Every structure is written in structure tokens, then in C-alpha cells.
Chains A and B, each alone.
Chain A
Amino acid sequence: GAGVSQTPSNKVTEKGKYVELRCDPISGHTALYWYRQSLGQGPEFLIYFQGTGAADDSGLPNDRFFAVRPEGSVSTLKIQRTERGDSAVYLCASSPLAGEYNEQFFGPGTRLTVL
């Protein structure tokens, strides 16, 4: 079956622009997660959805970042007024349930470059 997919795979934008990054989780997975990975670092948690609602958005760095999951499936991470420091690989993951021992399945990521 299909895994987690993310589009676009690469995004180059200019400082100050708005970007949207899309994540298609594995069908039937209720939990969805966004992480950000900077070069040479491990992924950093941003936000987690249980169904349509953001259950934990404490990892979002500031109010320029926002994510939605209106129908409990596809999610979009939105970044306003992008800054060069936002350049990173944005990873999405999903899991069947938000339980204690559920593996997270990761997508290939979107590499965002802010010039």
C-alpha cells in the first residue's frame, strides 16, 4: 500500500513569501505529525493531530507557522512571511492511533529553501 506522501519534494521561495506544504498520510491513520529537520540535526517536533484537531501544537516556533487537517486526512503546513532560518526539511508522519507504542511512519519530506 501507499506510504506517507509529501508535496512538493522541494520548494524554493524568497524571504517574506508564503508557502504551503502538503502531507497525505497513510489511509486510515488517525494521528498525523509534523517535524522539521535542519542540516546535521535530528527531527524536531512541530505539531500533532488526532483526527481533525491539533492535539499538541507546542512545537510550532512562532505564529508564522500554522497547520490544518480539515477532514482528518490530508494536512497542510503553512508558513507566512518566510525567513531564511525556516530553511529545512519538513517531515510528516502518521500512525494508526495516537497510542503509547505506535510506530510513526514518515514521508520523504519537503526540502524548503528560503533565499
Chain B
Amino acid sequence: SQQGEEDPQALSIQEGENATMNCSYKTSINNLQWYRQNSGRGLVHLILIRSNEREKHSGRLRVTLDTSKKSSSLLITASRAADTASYFCATAAEGYGNNRLAFGKGNQVVVIP
């Protein structure tokens, strides 16, 4: 079964720096999404990229998708202390719509003011 898998990282960066995290998956997908989670509770949807898209921007977020390598990256530019959180990628498998997301293990990002 396909599963999003981040490079398990704990990033610690200074405010204003950029943060980059990666995700890989194993099978064909409909879309890939990134979520943020604070304090180990509810997840907040950040951005969705479709399988036929290569790059997408939303505010300070930039997501890339390389379906040939089955990988994605999330870039947060000009980080802020409020960006401190865990970030998860999640994939929706081809043929399953958006109905059973497979999440990776997450990246913990700490932004130091």
C-alpha cells in the first residue's frame, strides 16, 4: 500500500530563514497534500497538489511534486515563530479519490525567534 513518508527530520531554524522538508511515496496518486499539526492535536490543511501539477504556491508555501521520483517537497519561506509545528505529507491513492489519506511520520520544525 502507498504511504507518504517524510525524511524524518527535526528542523531548528532562525526566524526569517527558509525551511524545506521532503516526502516520498510508493504508488500512483491522485494528489498529495501537506498538513500542519500543533501540539499533537488537530491537523490544518496547508496545500494540495494534483498529480498532474509540478509546483504550487500558497502565500509563503511552495510545494513541488515529482511523480517520476514519487517525491514532494514543502518550502516555507521567511519562517516565523508561529510556523513551529509538525508538518505531514499525505497522499490520496489513485483510484481511491481523496477518501483514505496515507500520512507520513512528519517533520518537526522549530523556528527560533
Q: Which residues of A contact B103 (CB under 8 A)?
A: 35, 42-44
Main secondary structure of the interface of A (DSSP, over half): loop
Let me know if B42 and A108 touch, CB within 8 A: yes
Q: Which residue from A59, A89, A99, A100 sits with its C-beta under 8 Å from B100?
A: A59
Let me know if A109 and B42 touch, CB within 8 A: yes
Q: Which residues of A contact B20 (CB under 8 A)?
A: none
Let me know if A42 and B4 touch, CB within 8 A: yes
Q: Which residues of A contact B35 (CB under 8 A)?
A: 106
Interface residues of B in 18-73 (CB under 8 A from A): 30-31, 33, 35, 40-45, 48, 50
Interface residues of B in 68-113 (CB under 8 A from A): 88, 90, 92, 96-106
Let me know if B98 and A100 touch, CB within 8 A: yes
Complex-state Cα separation, A38 to B107, whole angstroms:
15
Taking Cβ atoms with an 8 Å cutoff, the residues of B that contact A are 4, 30-31, 33, 35, 40-45, 48, 50, 88, 90, 92, 96-106
